[in-house]
Amino acid sequence: MSKWMPFFNKNEKEIQTEKIDNVPNHVAIIMDGNGRWASERGLPRIAGHKEGMEVVRRIVKEAVEQNIKVLTLYAFSTENWKRPKREIDFLMRLPIEFSNKYLPEMIENNVRIKTIGEFDSLPAHTKRSISHAKEKTKQNDGLLLNFALNYGSRDEIVRATKQVIQDVHDGTIAETDIDEAVIAKYLYTEDVPDPDLLIRTSGEHRLSNFLLWQLAYAEFWFTDVMWPDFNEQIFLDALKDYQKRKRRYGGI
């Protein structure tokens, strides 16, 4: 029996999936379409975000089942501050709700929670709940669940560049030592391996400032499905499609 069973909620439309081989080590997802999903149903956009949070929980569970090592989820971009305050406030409370509802099962399932992005300027209550979740899961060595929160790839590269210049000035590193591996260490992703597979929902085919450096050789997979309608089976479709890809990295 799955170790997730004690948390199984009969009302949820959970789907039983088979275990598949050769899964990508690191899957990154642009969880898009919450607002449209809600609008199509005559609901406020925040209803889509709430439903989207439940999908996060299900996909994390599936990633654990499939032995994926890292799952990076784009939750809030540096550009998402342009949205109405009400919507932003709701999004900034979601980590608290996620933590209250699902932190125990994350711990139970050996999930380690981390974030990438500019953390300091998040609201205090958001930071508190995320820091708590990180602290409670820091010893876990199962799935690394990485939330991209207030994350923008260009912002990340600007920050990294400034830090590299600072460290060269301070003599911590020599200019001649700077190579791709050194630059990678200055990014939020530090020692996390690059994503193997990028999934974007909602029919949009763009990166929206997500992991520009790290996705250099990732396989891309798109679906028209809105994030609140995404499920385990669609996730498996993406993983199975990934298995068929021939990754050449510029070779033959």
Our CA dihedral for 126, 207, 232, 72, rounded to 10 degrees, sits at -50
CA angle 195, 189, 78 (to 5 degrees): 95
Q: How many helices (H) and strands (E) does the chain have?
A: 7, 6
Of 32 and 232, the one with the shorter C-beta distance to Mg ion is: 32
By CB under 5 A, the count of residues binding Mg ion is 1
| DSSP character string of 65-84 | HTT-SEEEEEEEETTGGGS-
Site for Mg ion in 28-47 (CB under 5 A): 32
In the complex, the residues that contact ligand IPE under the rule CB under 6 A are 30-36, 74-77, 80, 91, 202, 204, 206, 208
Alpha-carbon gap, residue 231 to 225, rounded angstroms: 10
Of 122 and 164, the one with the shorter C-beta distance to ligand IPE is: 122
Is residue 91 at the binding interface for Mg ion, with CB under 5 A as the rule? no
Alpha-carbon gap, residue 101 to 59, rounded angstroms: 15
Of 24 and 35, the one with the shorter C-beta distance to ligand IPE is: 35
Q: State the nearest-atom distance from the C-beta of 4 to Mg ion, in Å.
A: 29
Of 219, 220, 227, the C-alpha closest to 54 is 227
Question: What is the total residue count of the chain?
Answer: 252
Q: State the nearest-atom distance from the C-beta of 80 to Mg ion, in Å.
A: 9
Residue 36 binding target from ligand IPE, Mg ion, none, CB below 5 to 8 Å by type: ligand IPE
Is residue 62 at the binding interface for Mg ion, with CB under 5 A as the rule? no
Is residue 219 at the binding interface for Mg ion, with CB under 5 A as the rule? no
Q: Which residue is nearest to ligand IPE (CB)?
A: 35
